[in-house]
Structure 1
């Protein structure tokens, strides 16, 4: 019989009481027995404190109390929850040391623990040393292989289990089906499905979920639907799986219908369901819908978690919605997520990609801890904004802080050197990669250097750099050279680069358009015509230019010649009026960039219709006291629009920030941050 303190201790254990109170009562026991130690370890684990459970186990050893089978079982489960491999190996050694090597219950727990630690060899050693194996042993081993991304080994274990005459249970089947998903093995998945139906297991919700996922992964969405519709007992897990299947197969509306059905139920939705649909909407390009659902999630009383935040921030980036990003930042502050490096880094990236580098820096410098990804994000953010010197300074700060740079770090730094014409500094960094950091430059690093040399007008050196690459030159390298040929009007080198590009990526319409424009500007209209003809013959269609801008809570999108805005008349009137002022200030339209058979006046009008100019005009008309506007474009900003934006920003007296796929352009006082090299 337990003494009085032990009885109080038992009553205080969760879920009946408070874990802190339980610990206080435990400490009052003069000589706690192994049962009390085991109960405390289990209590910490069940209360979600596996690390504390391991500390209690270590304390047990310090007091020279020998653990029994149940104590070892409790600490093994705690270590599985923590996923700490070093601790796991120590516990395994204790199991052997105290004579439980062949214990089935402990053996199964150890296999599961190693699976959670993603250490297949340790699990296999335990499995092979078991004298007797039950269905849990085989299931745990198979599941371990799936967790360790070894699907073939998982299926081999499953076959071996069947040959040994061990009958799989629902947990076994729901554990092995993901291996079929990983391997896209539809035939084997169907065999397992047949076994499930023959043995009447098809109504198990976990098995059904695994089947739906398997069929969806194997691009058999109709079969996934049949399994879902034939399951009598569906729950959130199954609904989340079919929603993910629909999103992955481009059937966003079907997924949203399932979500609406879930919301009509009486039970409150959990994080998994909300996160599944938010992530799916972003994956499907429905960013507005994702942000709307986030708002509805908060209204329903469910607080966003880390997964919600890191999945929804890219939606703000896609829309260029810094306003929404700030709202999410406020949400992070309210819910105290800012201790998490992943969330912090996503926030840094969001601000940088939405055009506010200063806010991005502020968030970065208040981070309590910065890993390689965080440093890379800030370096790349500065590079995108043409802040090459700042990117180099961050690189030096990163090295002095003891954080080791990786391949992505150097891509960011070299890109910054390229955008800021820091060619020689870029070359020094490039050649230091192998010598000082042991990182072999890849094609992306070479392309960055080609870009840097090309932008600086060192075209011959850039061409020779491409020729010296130890791997096949990429489209990015040749594309950088071709872009510079446009700026520096080098037709011969443009021919060489263009020939390579049309061979490497014949489906990229941008290469044809750029090469044609170079020939057109050089008055080589016959060659320009040949490129356009080749484009038509190959069925290559130019991606239409599209620009967007957020005003208040709404994102407004424009295409070339757009007249769908409620303010269309005001936009074109403004462009006409400001166009006259721009001419007086010295602006001359670059009509050579209009590769069409139009007269001069028509060409000028065509340039004024470009999407980025329409979006900028709309933003200026709706400034409402703001000193800057942010325009986002899906294609590279054209040369004439780039020139026009400089005059527009100076005449109107605002800062115009334009983000295209390559970088940010900050137009202010008649100048651009890129110094006309982009």
Structure 2
């Protein structure tokens, strides 16, 4: 055999072997549909066989990688091809859209267009879906325009994707136009459009689209009805949600758990327990009493309607109690002021091993924080972290009011640090809560720093900062922040003006306060409410214009409430106006028969005038009503621990040292001109005994406790549950100068900054 013939035979054999390998590889590739390992083996085989650039092979490999979401490997394969075809891009675009990798979807679209390949009816729906997922309305418009220019927009899948894209981008007008032009509108698009209008609160359009579906021969299904009920509920149109449920029932459509859960939420917000009971009975007839979502909604509904016992009964009847129902129960009990029951329920199911989630812990923390159990709220936050449950951006604003009310600055700072680590400080509600916490703990500069660092602000943030300055009686800063608020094009609301009028009242700026009061309706169209009149009565009353304050009350467009009469009575106490004080007190006794504070204020007026007989009569009235004076209580944080001191309480372990130090300070203060103001002792006893009683006031005890337990020169912050008395106010001014300390005292009205013998309130409070 010649050499030439032998060469030809070898070449033929080589080609035959290559052909066999390719046939074998293609067979292997077609069967490779399982694991990622098989996909990588197939890719390696393609490279070895020299088939990786073949369109059919490349498309198959791309599909394998995409099915395992290995988009990086898929991209490398795609971009290694000199001229990827439309099928390759279709595979990747559809896969990335399916797995909601919308940024990659649109990146692939741009790459495809740069290669002069254009979308078809297989690609266009996926790219439109990506626009919907990213709320990219402008690009969605462009793709719609491309579809209209190429005729692809008439494809049913493209039309459906356009409708859903416009709905998700809140462009309901465009969605409606596309729906109207559909050759064969379907129940999915019609239901989505009607539900979209319902969620936006557009009742007329939602109802019109829903009714038009029937005229077009489209029978609304269960999803359609549920979408309408849930949509109206979401937009706050609770009555419309209930009416839609009633219509659904009258049309003979059998409801499911979603329908019942949605309408129960609306009934709860309407607080209509009669309808709620009817829906409850209907749910039982449908056999939904074991549906966990229905049970949770029933618990929530009865709680909102104030039926605490029914709430507990529904929960206890639940066969398998889950965390959702438990959360609903905690929320319901909290709403009905049954804090101890809520805490008991929480502890019980936590002890039984129920996997309580972040909602459970947050609800319980909020419950305790809102109802005065501040130490418990702080302890729960600590337990939550030990349990491995990560707080979220809702937990922090729920916790911070407890820190603010309890003067727990260290805990508040810890929550702030936690928020920084978790990236919550961009959340406007977290920041607003931090501003309020720092303001309430006497750190107004820290509050302003939080405010200034905010990347964006809403009305809640502005009001928090304005309220902080009002709490500290900082009139110039309050006015400046109000002006900055206006220059930032943020319109004030009722809360904004309440803070402004409050700070004007504290600082005795009658004309400035009257100017703001008048500008509410004149410049902003805001009608004054009860709280604004209360501020004005307080403003005029504190300035000694009691008759003018009383005249304003008679001119109010509604009957004065307890807040307004209380403002007048407080002013009568300051100016010892017994006649008008009796009028205010008698009205308050009728409005708030169980509030001991009103009796105490009238007693103060009588005591200041030496009317001991009249004062005794008021005390007898209190006894007959079963009322007792709320004991003065003050808190101070020392070494990251909050200490509480009660007026007249001698059980504190350091009380002997505190009283000894207080006696020494009293002697030094008297040398400097201090005279105890015994008018604040509501007992007909000797002057020496009155002085002794004054020494037991809680704010004095807390200040001295702080002096004993901190380094010289350390600033002190004290919180009090009642208004600071005049004698304590005078005494703490002297103490701040003698001890060379800055002392902050927050009472129920405002902050008092004592330094060098002077108070920031200017003795007006």
Using the size of structure 2 for normalisation, the TM-score is 0.81
Task: Write out aligned runs for 1:83-482 (5 A).
Answer: 84=170, 87-99=171-183, 103-131=186-214, 132-249=219-336, 250=338, 251-258=341-348, 260-261=350-351, 264=353, 270-482=357-569
Partner of 2:72: none
Seen in structure 2, the aligned counterparts of structure 1 residues 567 and 89 have a Cα distance that, compared at 3 Å, is farther
Seen in structure 2, the aligned counterparts of structure 1 residues 582 and 234 have a Cα distance that, compared at 3 Å, is same
Seen in structure 2, the aligned counterparts of structure 1 residues 310 and 12 have a Cα distance that, compared at 3 Å, is same
Q: CA deviation at 1:504?
A: 4.4
Partner of 2:82: none
Q: Deviations over 1:375-399 (max 9, x none)?
A: 2222221111111122122222222
Q: CA deviation at 1:421?
A: 1.9
| Distance across 1 between alignment mates of 2:371 and 2:505 | 33
Q: Deviations over 1:120-144 (max 9, x none)?
A: 3332121111112222222222223
| Distance across 1 between alignment mates of 2:580 and 2:246 | 61
Q: Deviations over 1:141-162 (max 9, x none)?
A: 2223322333333333223222
Q: Deviations over 1:146-191 (max 9, x none)?
A: 2233333333322322222211122212222223323444454344
More displaced 10-residue stretch of structure 1: 332-341 or 317-326: 332-341
Q: CA deviation at 1:300?
A: 5.0
Structure 1, gaps ≥5 residues long: none
Q: Is the CA contact (8 Å cut-off) linking 2:466 and 2:481 kept in structure 1? A: yes
CA RMSD of aligned residues (A): 2.8
| Distance across 2 between alignment mates of 1:151 and 1:493 | 46
Q: 2:494 matched to 1:494?
A: no
Q: Is the CA contact (8 Å cut-off) linking 2:102 and 2:131 kept in structure 1? A: yes
Seen in structure 2, the aligned counterparts of structure 1 residues 430 and 213 have a Cα distance that, compared at 3 Å, is closer
| Equivalent residue for 2:658, pick from 559, 562, 571 | 571
Seen in structure 2, the aligned counterparts of structure 1 residues 469 and 390 have a Cα distance that, compared at 3 Å, is same
| Distance across 2 between alignment mates of 1:124 and 1:394 | 45
| Distance across 2 between alignment mates of 1:546 and 1:73 | 66
| Distance across 1 between alignment mates of 2:679 and 2:719 | 24
Seen in structure 2, the aligned counterparts of structure 1 residues 182 and 462 have a Cα distance that, compared at 3 Å, is closer
| Distance across 2 between alignment mates of 1:223 and 1:480 | 40
Q: Deviations over 1:446-494 (max 9, x none)?
A: 3323322222233343344434444434444443333333333343443
Seen in structure 2, the aligned counterparts of structure 1 residues 232 and 33 have a Cα distance that, compared at 3 Å, is farther
Q: Is the CA contact (8 Å cut-off) linking 1:547 and 1:612 kept in structure 2? A: yes
Q: Is the CA contact (8 Å cut-off) linking 1:631 and 1:658 kept in structure 2? A: yes
Secondary structure in 2 matching 1:176: helix
Q: Is the CA contact (8 Å cut-off) linking 2:342 and 2:364 kept in structure 1? A: no
| Distance across 2 between alignment mates of 1:226 and 1:463 | 50
Task: Write out aligned runs for 1:43-54 (5 A).
Answer: 49-52=133-136, 54=137
Seen in structure 2, the aligned counterparts of structure 1 residues 472 and 164 have a Cα distance that, compared at 3 Å, is closer
Secondary structure in 1 matching 2:426: coil
| Distance across 2 between alignment mates of 1:499 and 1:191 | 45
Q: CA deviation at 1:55?
A: 4.6
Partner of 1:586: 673
More displaced 10-residue stretch of structure 1: 636-645 or 212-221: 212-221
| Distance across 2 between alignment mates of 1:254 and 1:242 | 11
Q: Is the CA contact (8 Å cut-off) linking 2:724 and 2:747 kept in structure 1? A: yes
Q: CA deviation at 1:577?
A: 2.2
| Distance across 2 between alignment mates of 1:477 and 1:270 | 43
**Aligned pair count?**
666
Secondary structure in 1 matching 2:642: strand
Seen in structure 2, the aligned counterparts of structure 1 residues 153 and 37 have a Cα distance that, compared at 3 Å, is same
Q: Deviations over 1:53-98 (max 9, x none)?
A: x45422312323416444454455566666x3xx123322321233
Q: Is the CA contact (8 Å cut-off) linking 1:69 and 1:106 kept in structure 2? A: no
Seen in structure 2, the aligned counterparts of structure 1 residues 631 and 76 have a Cα distance that, compared at 3 Å, is farther
Seen in structure 2, the aligned counterparts of structure 1 residues 11 and 445 have a Cα distance that, compared at 3 Å, is closer
Q: Is the CA contact (8 Å cut-off) linking 2:713 and 2:740 kept in structure 1? A: no
Q: Is the CA contact (8 Å cut-off) linking 1:6 and 1:26 kept in structure 2? A: no
| Distance across 2 between alignment mates of 1:142 and 1:7 | 38
Partner of 1:64: 147
| Distance across 2 between alignment mates of 1:284 and 1:323 | 21
| Distance across 2 between alignment mates of 1:13 and 1:145 | 30
Partner of 1:5: 89
Seen in structure 2, the aligned counterparts of structure 1 residues 613 and 142 have a Cα distance that, compared at 3 Å, is same
Structure 2, gaps ≥5 residues long: 1-58, 60-85
Q: CA deviation at 1:6?
A: 1.1
Q: CA deviation at 1:119?
A: 3.0
| Equivalent residue for 1:662, pick from 718, 741, 749 | 749
Seen in structure 2, the aligned counterparts of structure 1 residues 290 and 35 have a Cα distance that, compared at 3 Å, is farther
| Distance across 1 between alignment mates of 2:509 and 2:482 | 14
